[in-house]
C-alpha cells in the first residue's frame, strides 16, 4: 500500500458525479474516462491504496497528459482541489530522473538568479526604484518580473510599469516557483515563492496569471495581485483604434487565474473601456500552453491550439489579448503558423497603446 502520495481529505472529496467531464479538454479530445478528472482521481485512489503499482504505465501517461488547467474545479459541486492533487501526483510520478528532461532544464534555468537578472537587463525589462532590503516600498507594492517574460517579452513589464508607475521594480528578484510546483517539485516551488515573498515585501503585482495563482497558494491572497485587478477601476482615458475605427478585441483567459483565483471580469472590464470586446466561445478553455505542456506534449497541445485559432479567426477580431506569458507564446505561435492577420498581445501592452480622445476642432 502506497498510502502517502495524496492528502487523504482532498482525495476523498470526489463523489464521481461526472460534472467535470464536459469541462475537461483531454476528455473532450479522447472520450476516454481515464483522461477525465474523475478517471484520474480513480487512478490516484488506486495508487494511494496500492491497487496499481507505482510504475503502472497508465499512471505515468495520465499524470503527463493532463493539462493542469483546473477547468474542472469551478464546476465541481464537491469542491475537489484537483490542481493540488495533480501537483502531489507529479511529485510522486516525476521523482528524480523520471521528471521530463525539458522540465528539469527549465527548472535549473530559472533557479539561476544571475541569469534571470542578466536576461532582464539585456532585454530591457522594466526597471525602477527598488525598496530598501526588508522594507515595503512606498505605496506597499512591487512589480514581479516573470522568469520567461523577462527574456521573451520584456515589453510586458515595461508596459505594466508605465500603467502603474507607483510600483517598485527590484531587478534582482528570483523565480516565484510556479514552474517547479507544476512539474513535480512542490517543495521547491513553495521554497521559491516564500523567498520571493521576502524579497518583495508588501503587495506583489504580477503580469502572469499562473504566477499569481501559485504565489497566492503559498503567500495568501492578501499579498498577491494580478495586474488587471490592480488596474481595475482606473479610467482608460481613450480608446484603441485600428484603421481609423475602434478596435475589435477578444480575450483568452489564463486558466490558473480564472479557475484558481476566479479572476476573469477585471480584464474584460478594462478591455470594454478601450475597444469593442468580442467574447470567444471558448475564452475560458485552455489554449494548450499550460506551462510546460506545449513543450512536453506538443502534438496534443497543437490539437487544442488549432481549434482555438479557428475560433479566433472566425470572430473577426483585430487582436486577441492574454494575461499570461505562456498563453502569449502559444497564441503567437499558432497565429504566425496560420499566417493570420490577428495579433496576440498582453493586456498591459494593449492598454499602453490606447489613444487619448480627440479634441473637437
Instruction: Say which residues have a Cβ less than 8 Å from residue 105's Cβ, sequence separation at least 6.
Output: none
Alpha helices in the chain (DSSP H): 8-12, 25-30, 37-49, 57-65, 82-93, 101-110, 113-123, 147-152, 154-163, 178-182, 186-199, 209-219, 227-231, 255, 261, 265-274, 293-296, 298-314, 325-338, 347-352
Model's pTM, two decimal places? 0.92
User: Can you spell out the DSSP letters for 170-210?
Assistant: -TT----SHHHHHTT-HHHHHHHHHHHHHHS-SEEEES-HH
The pLDDT profile of the chain, 361 residues, written as one tens digit per residue, is 456 899 999 999 999 999 999 999 999 999 999 999 999 999 999 999 999 999 999 999 999 999 999 999 999 999 999 999 999 999 999 987 889 999 999 999 888 887 888 887 877 888 876 555 555 555 589 999 988 889 899 999 999 999 999 999 998 899 999 999 999 999 999 999 999 999 999 999 999 999 999 999 999 999 999 999 999 988 877 899 999 999 999 999 999 999 999 999 999 999 999 999 999 999 999 999 999 999 999 999 999 999 999 999 999 999 999 999 999 999 999 999 999 999 999 999 999 998 776 554 4
Give the position of cell 528539469: 104
Q: Are 203 and 141 in contact (CB under 8 A)?
A: yes
Alpha-carbon gap, residue 292 to 44, rounded angstroms: 22
Amino acid at each position: 500500500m502506497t498510502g502517502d502520495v495524496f492528502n487523504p481529505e482532498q482525495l476523498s472529496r470526489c463523489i464521481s458525479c461526472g460534472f467535470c467531464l464536459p469541462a475537461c479538454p483531454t476528455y473532450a479530445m479522447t472520450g476516454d474516462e481515464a483522461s477525465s478528472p474523475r478517471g484520474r482521481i480513480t487512478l490516484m485512489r488506486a495508487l494511494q491504496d496500492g491497487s496499481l503499482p507505482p510504475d503502472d504505465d497508465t499512471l505515468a501517461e495520465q499524470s503527463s497528459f493532463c493539462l493542469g488547467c483546473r477547468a474542472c474545479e469551478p464546476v465541481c459541486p464537491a469542491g475537489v482541489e484537483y490542481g493540488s492533487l495533480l501537483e502531489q501526483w507529479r511529485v510522486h510520478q516525476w521523482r528524480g530522473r523520471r521528471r521530463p528532461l525539458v522540465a528539469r532544464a527549465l527548472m535549473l534555468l530559472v533557479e539561476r538568479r544571475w541569469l534571470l537578472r542578466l536576461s532582464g537587463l539585456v532585454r530591457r525589462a522594466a526597471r525602477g526604484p527598488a525598496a530598501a532590503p526588508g522594507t515595503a516600498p512606498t505605496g506597499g507594492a512591487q512589480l514581479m518580473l516573470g522568469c520567461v517574460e523577462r527574456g521573451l517579452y520584456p515589453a510586458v513589464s515595461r508596459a505594466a510599469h508605465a500603467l502603474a508607475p507607483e510600483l517598485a521594480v527590484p531587478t534582482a528578484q528570483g523565480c516565484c516557483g510556479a514552474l517547479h510546483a507544476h512539474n513535480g517539485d512542490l517543495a521547491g516551488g513553495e521554497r521559491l515563492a516564500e523567498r520571493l515573498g521576502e524579497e518583495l515585501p508588501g503587495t506583489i503585482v504580477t503580469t502572469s496569471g499562473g504566477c499569481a495563482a501559485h504565489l497566492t497558494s503559498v503567500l495568501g491572497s492578501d499579498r498577491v495581485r494580478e495586474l488587471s485587478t490592480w488596474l481595475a477601476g482606473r479610467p482608460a482615458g481613450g480608446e484603441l483604434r485600428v484603421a481609423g475605427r475602434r478596435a475589435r478585441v477578444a480575450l483568452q483567459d489564463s486558466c490558473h487565474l480564472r479557475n484558481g483565483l476566479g479572476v476573469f471580469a477585471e480584464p474584460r472590464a478594462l478591455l470594454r473601456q478601450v475597444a469593442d470586446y468580442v467574447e470567444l466561445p471558448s475564452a475560458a478553455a485552455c489554449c494548450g500552453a499550460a506551462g510546460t505542456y506545449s513543450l512536453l506534449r506538443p502534438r496534443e497541445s497543437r490539437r487544442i491550439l488549432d481549434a482555438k485559432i479557428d475560433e479566433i479567426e472566425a470572430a473577426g477580431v483585430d487582436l486577441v489579448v492574454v494575461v499570461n506569458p505562456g498563453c502569449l507564446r502559444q497564441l503567437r505561435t499558432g497565429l504566425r503558423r496560420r499566417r493570420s492577420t490577428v495579433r496576440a498581445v498582453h493586456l498591459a501592452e494593449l492598454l499602453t497603446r490606447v489613444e487619448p480622445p480627440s479634441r473637437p476642432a
